[in-house]
Amino acid sequence: MTGDDFDWLSTSTLGEAACVTMVRTTDVDAVVRGLGGVAGEVRTVPFAEAGNDLDQAYAIVVCHQGEYVVAIEANGFQGSRPEVLRRVSRLGETVSAFWNIEALTRFSYAVNGRIKTAFEAGADSWKEGEDPDCLAPLVAEIDWEAGHRRTGLLLAARLTGQPFTEDWLYGEVLVAPIAEHLEDMRPVTLGFESLE
């Protein structure tokens, strides 16, 4: 697999901005909840009809691929948020590839509620997480000049063995609106009063 395998994205509804999050689990409902999906408003529709939900409201589309539950966001970023990654990775190994129209990207890898590594697309990018270089051999194999949308998905495919292909967007999917989550609470700096 190479970056060229993702050329189809340029004509897709996901071409300009999206987030693809893959969680190794069979628990679709837990992934929906973990990403902030409103469980009472989940619907099953053909992907072609899900486009209206994705265009008009902040929502996720969820499908099952191999050993993974996959959440797809058009112009969204839930799956790149540390608090969300920690939550869903308790269900199983989690990878997330995010990109937007301003060429910002984010690749994240989390396991057991812990973010192992997260970084902007690029071999020499500053990495954060508990084990920032845990994917160094896979990162070294990728041509990071190929394009921002492709590189995170390529790394995700090599890590999971599940390449994100256009046919994932065919057939029926679950669609759920996203409820707003509070961001992580930051600790109060020593020397300052605690807030109630």
Number of domains in the chain: 1
- Global pTM reads 0.85
Mean per-residue pLDDT, 138-159: 80
Mean per-residue pLDDT, 10-24: 87
pLDDT exceeds 80 at position 68: yes
9: Cβ–Cβ under 8 A, 6 or more apart, which residues?
A: 15, 149, 150
Residue 184 domain-assigned (yes or no): no
pLDDT tens for each residue of 107-133: 999 999 999 999 987 657 789 999 999
Instruction: Say if residues 75 and 178 touch (Cβ distance below 8 Å).
Output: no
Closest to 148 in 3D by CA, of 93, 94, 104, 192: 104
pLDDT exceeds 70 at position 188: no
Categorise residue 18: left if φ over 0, alpha if ψ from -120 to 50, beta otherwise: beta
pLDDT exceeds 80 at position 49: no
pLDDT of residue 5: 77
CA atoms of 22 and 51, how far apart (whole Å): 20
Distance, C-alpha 110 to centroid of its chain? 11
Residue 196 domain-assigned (yes or no): no
Residue 194 domain-assigned (yes or no): no
Residue 185 domain-assigned (yes or no): no
Domain span at 104: 3-177
